[in-house]
Structure 1
C-alpha cells in the first residue's frame, strides 16, 4: 500500500511540475492563450499536453522535495519559465499593434477604437485587423505547433530545479521589445513616408491659401488615401511579419 501511494505521489508530482510550466505558457502565449479561448478549454488542452509529454520529460525532473517550501520554490521556477516563454511570443505579436497604431495616426483613424485580440484590449482599427490576421496566419501556417514545441523543448534549456538565468531572460525580453518596435516601424514605413509628404503638401497649400481651412477639408482625403494604401500593402506587411516571427522565434530557441 505504501509503495502504491509512493508511485501515485511521484506520478502526480511529475504531472504537476509539467502542467505548471505548460499551463502557464499556454495562458500567456498567443493563439491558445488569447482572451477569446475559454479558460476551461485552455486548461484542458494544457493538461492533455502535460499528460502526453510527462513520460518523456520525467527523467529531467528532480526528485520530489521533502519540504513544502522547496516544492513551492520549484513550482515558482517552473511558472516563471512558462511566463517567459509565453511572453516571448506575445511580444512578437505586439509588433502588429505598433504598426497598426502608426498607421492609424497617419491615416486619421486614431480616434476609432476596437477590441484587439493580440493584446486583449481596445486598440486601433488597423491594429485590431492585423491582430486578427496575425492569429489566423499562425493557425493557417501551423506556427502554433512551433509555440507548443518551444514549450516542450524548453526543458533542455531550462532544467527543472536549476537556477533561473534571470539576467539572460531580461536581456532576451529587452531585445524582443526593441525588435518588436523596430518591426512595427518597418511594416508601417510606407505610411510614415506618405503621411509626411501629405502633411508637407497641406502645409504648402495652407501657405498659398491661408483663408482656406486646408487641414479640415482634406481630412477625408487623408482617410481615403490611407485606406487605399492599407489595402495595397496589407498582404505584404503580414507576410513580412510572419517571416520575422518564425525566424526570430527559431533563433531564440537555438
Structure 2
C-alpha cells in the first residue's frame, strides 16, 4: 500500500462517526428535514459541520472496530444526540403549526387543508401561513447559524464515542409540553376573540330560533378570523419568534449537558 494511503481507513472511520450526529440533527431539524432537501446536500452540510468538530474534540473509536457491539452503541449514541438537538429546534415550528390548527378550528376552516412541503403531511391553511412565518423568522434571526454552532458545541459536552447521559431522555420528554404551551400562546389572541364571536352567535340563535346559524355563523367566524389575523400579525410573529428562541435555548441546554 502506498505510504500516503496508510491511514486512510482510520480516517474514513472518523469521517463516518463525524457525519452521524450532524446528519441525524439535520434530518430532525426544520428546513433541512424537509423531503424536498436532497440527501446529498444534507450529507455535505453534515460533513462540513462534523469533521472540524470531531477533529477539535477528538473521537474514541472502539478497539474492536465499528463492526462490533461497542461500535453499534457509539453510532446509536451519536444518532440519539443528533435527533435530540434537531427535535428541540423543531419546538417553534411545531408550536406555530399547533397554533394554526387551533385558529383554523375556531374559524371553521379546519376542513381547508393542504400538503405541508416540510413534513409532507396535510395541515390547515392557517397552519401553513404560520409555518411560513416561522420559516422566515427562523432564517431572519440567524437560527440556522445558531443551530450549527449548537451542534459544534455539543461535542464539548458529549465527545464522539462517549456515553449518552440518561438526563437527555428526561429533558426530551418535556418538549411536548413546551410545544402545546407555545402553540396555545400563539393562538390565544385570535382564538379567544373567535370564542367570543361563537358565544354571541349562540345567544343570537337562542333569541331568534328561526335564524339559520350555519348560514350566518360560519361566514361571520371566517371574516372575523381573517380580520383578526391581519390585526394581530405582529403579536403572532412575536409569539412565534419567542417559541423559536425557546427551542434554540432548549437545544443549547441539551448540547451543554444541562
When the two structures are superposed, what TM-score results if normalisation uses the length of structure 2? 0.89
Q: Is the deviation greater in 157-166 or in 172-181? A: 157-166
Counterpart for residue 221 of structure 2: 222
Does the aligned pair in 2 maintain the 1:28–1:86 contact within 8 Å?
A: yes
Decide whether aligned partners of structure 1 residues 105 and 214 sit closer, same or farther in structure 2, where only a CA change above 3 A counts.
Answer: same
Distance in structure 2 (CA, Å) of the matches to 1:15 and 1:112: 46
On the 8 A contact 2:92/2:179 being kept in 1, the answer is yes
CA contact (8 A) 1:107 1:226 kept: yes
How many aligned residue pairs are there?
A: 251
Pair 72,252 (structure 1): closer, same or farther in 2 beyond 3 Å? closer
Task: Provide closer, same or farther for how the CA distance between residues 21 and 251 of structure 1 changes in structure 2, counting only shifts above 3 A.
Answer: closer
Counterpart in the other structure of 1:65: 63
Contact 1:99 1:188 in 2 (8 A): yes
Give yes or no for contact 2:98–2:180 (8 Å, CA) kept in 1: yes
Distance in 1 of aligned mates of 2:45 and 2:192? 45
Q: Show CA shifts across 1:28-62 (max 9, x none).
A: 101222222222222222223334434223x2x11
The aligned residue for residue 186 of structure 2 is: 187
* Structure with a larger share of its residues in helix: 1
Q: Secondary structure at the match of 1:153?
A: helix
Question: 2-side partners of 1:63 and 1:196: how far apart?
Answer: 59
CA spacing shift, 1:217–1:63, aligned 2, 3 Å: closer
Deviation, 1:110, is: 0.6
Which residue in 2 is equivalent to 1:197? 196
Secondary structure of the residue aligned to 2:31 is: coil
2: CA distance, partners of 1:44 / 1:251: 26
State whether residues 99 and 127 of structure 1, in contact with CA within 8 Å, keep that contact through their aligned partners in structure 2.
yes
Q: What displacement does 1:236 show?
A: 1.9
Does 239-248 or 210-219 show the bigger shift?
239-248
Gaps of 5+ in 2: 254-258
Q: Distance in 1 between matches of 2:240 and 2:176?
A: 15
Distance (whole Å) between structure 2 residues aligned to residue 155 and residue 51 of structure 1: 11
Distance 2:33 2:73 in 1: 25
CA distance, structure 2, for counterparts of residue 160 and residue 222 of structure 1? 54
What is the CA distance between 1:111 and its match in structure 2? 0.5
Q: Distance in 2 between matches of 1:93 and 1:195?
A: 23
| TM-score (norm: length of structure 1) | 0.90
Gaps of 5+ in 1: none
Q: Which stretches of structure 1, 4 residues or longer, exceed 4 Å deviation after superposition?
A: 1-6
Contact 1:202 1:215 (8 Å CA) reproduced: no
Cα distance in 2, alignment partners of residues 118 and 37 from structure 1 = 9
Q: Structure 2 vs 1, CA of residues 33 and 251 (structure 1 numbering), >3 Å: closer, same or farther?
A: closer
The root-mean-square deviation of aligned C-alpha atoms, in Å, is: 2.0
Bigger relative CO (Cα 8 Å, ≥ 6 apart): 2
Counterpart residue number, 1:45: 45
Task: Answer yes or no: is the 8 Å Cα contact 1:10–1:64 preserved in 2.
Answer: no
